[in-house]
Amino acid sequence: MTKSGSAVKVLFVTTELAPFSKVGGLGDVAGSLPKALRQAGVDVRVVTPAWPGVLESVAASGLKTTTVKTKVYAAYDWRIHSATVIKADVKGVPTYFLKAEDYTGDMYPSQLNFWTASPFAVFCMQALELKDAIEWEPDIYHCHDWTSAFLPCALAWHRHYRQTSGKSIMTLHNVAYQGIFEPSPFLEASGLEPWSFSSSTMEFYGQVNLLKGGIVAATAVSTVSPTYAGEIQTYESTRELSGILYQQRSKLRGILNGLDTKFWDPNGDKAIPAKFSPKDLKGKAACKRALLERAGFDPDTDAPVIVCVSRLVEQKGFDMVFNAAHQIAETGAKLLILGSGNDWIENGIIQAAEANPQSIKLFKGYDEPLSHLMYAGGDIFLMPSVFEPCGLSQMISMRYGTVPVVREVGGLRDTVFDVDRPEGGNGFTFQTCDVDGMMWALRRAVERYRDKAAWKKIMLEGMREDFTWDKSAGLYKDMYEDLMQ
Ligand code: ADP
């Protein structure tokens, strides 16, 4: 509630929105948290760019869209950037897709510079302009990651938007991506005051750092798990940015992500060949068979199937996986990996699969339906992350009765608890970030899998965890209301 007793008005400003546009966890969060917030009594709406294919995907999902009468305009780089506003009700959440020339390229650029960063600054300004077009003025702009971090900067330091009312929240889904590029000609083109570029604002070793600017300028900052909130204040985790995060710690909170448990539900998932639930696990065996067939392995094997669904980047620890390929094969387990990313990691896995063709299979690419089959058909979910802000995959895997083996870091530490603790748990964890550490946990999992009764108990423990947004939506609501005091 605001002081006047009305619901807090929050505009979610996000460059990803599942199921229409998604690269990773941010897309999932933006696609599920707003619905939970509305149920908790927050007047939340969403704005997102209509990247190529997004409006087609909205139409294909059967949603009705309307075009808002007034366009939004933003002045940037001595040009007016206009966007058509297309509205749809997504799961009961008023959602605005901005269709503009600025969003016709790739979602995220591989190289960041003034030109490739510009669509993200333009998007933030158009989000600030939206209130007039839709006649609804947010109390709070809730921004996510560097791609919308320009918005708090604009509210604090832009010649024009400094007069706009509204508070801002910066949620950090992954501090590894900061939006760093050359200051010229950005500073002149963006309309930010010259003093926005100093070591206490967005300047970072001579470069622009949009995330740093967003953290400093935002009224409040949150990140996606309590453990990560602590880790990012240390040099080991975020290097040069840790000082700023430590300095800003009084406005930082860690709120664990939830899942869209209707979407990720083995008892209603249309992408898997058989349904199952904690009460009746039979369908999981059919999913395992289908997955093994898809991988070209014997579908009748009783070997444990280890699955990974991930971006193949340094963060996720896959160098440990391919370096341990022989040891994994020797356990008798099958290892199936779905993902794509850095060449050197993909190549490492390809070589591991070529050397162990009976045990290891890589499905290269991004494949949403196959990811569901992986979660449903696997026995063990391996996630040996070097760092992990929250991680959704380990929660999804637990929903599908696939027992996680994870490194004790970030959100993995807040969601996966080792079964060998005196109080029991829902998975297997390790601390040391190397092959020996990972294999210690993985071997325990593979051995335990042979004890069917013990394994079923661990599966059920994970399947019965509460991964809904209910609790965390309440914590976000508290944060909004604290800002309105
Ligand atoms: P991150 O956001 O760091 O990528 P998360 O675990 O928070 O990691 O979220 C990853 C999300 O992306 C999950 O929903 C996961 O299923 C999905 N995902 C990752 N890689 C793939 C892939 N190759 N194909 C399909 N879905 C994927």
Question: Do residues 93 and 46 touch, judged by C-beta distance below 8 A?
Answer: yes
Q: Give CA separation, 157 vs 12, 171, 196, 324, 362, in Å.
A: 21, 19, 6, 50, 47
Length of the chain: 485
Strands 203-204 and 207-209, sheet pairing? antiparallel
CB 119 near ligand 1, within 6 Å: no
Q: Which atom of ligand 1 is nearest to the CA of 173?
A: 2
Ranges of the chain whose pLDDT falls below 70: none
Q: What is the dihedral of CA 128, 129, 133, 138, to 10 degrees?
A: 20
Distance from residue 311's CA to the centre of ligand 1 (Å): 6
Cα angle value 420/373/408 (rounded, 5°): 30
E-assigned strand segments in 242-293: 252-254
Residue closest to 294 by CA, chosen among 273, 314, 312, 277: 273
pLDDT at 60: 97
Residue closest to 380 by CA, chosen among 440, 326, 333: 333
What's the pTM? 0.94
pLDDT at 461: 98
Distance from residue 114's CA to the centre of ligand 1 (Å): 28
Ligand 1 pocket, mutate which of 33, 261, 393 (most atoms under 8 A from CB): 393
pLDDT at 2: 73
Q: What are phi and psi of 462, to 5 degrees?
A: -70, -40
E-assigned strand segments in 2-105: 9-13, 43-49, 65-67, 72-76, 79-90, 93-99
Question: Do residues 129 and 80 touch, judged by C-beta distance below 8 A?
Answer: no
Distance from residue 130's CA to the centre of ligand 1 (Å): 30
Distance from residue 5's CA to the centre of ligand 1 (Å): 39
The Cβ of residue 447 has, within 10 Å, a number of other Cβ atoms equal to: 12
pLDDT at 88: 98
Question: Do residues 6 and 136 touch, judged by C-beta distance below 8 A?
Answer: no
pLDDT at 476: 98
CB 338 near ligand 1, within 6 Å: yes
pLDDT at 377: 98
CB 378 near ligand 1, within 6 Å: no
Ligand 1 pocket, mutate which of 256, 372, 392, 407 (most atoms under 8 A from CB): 392
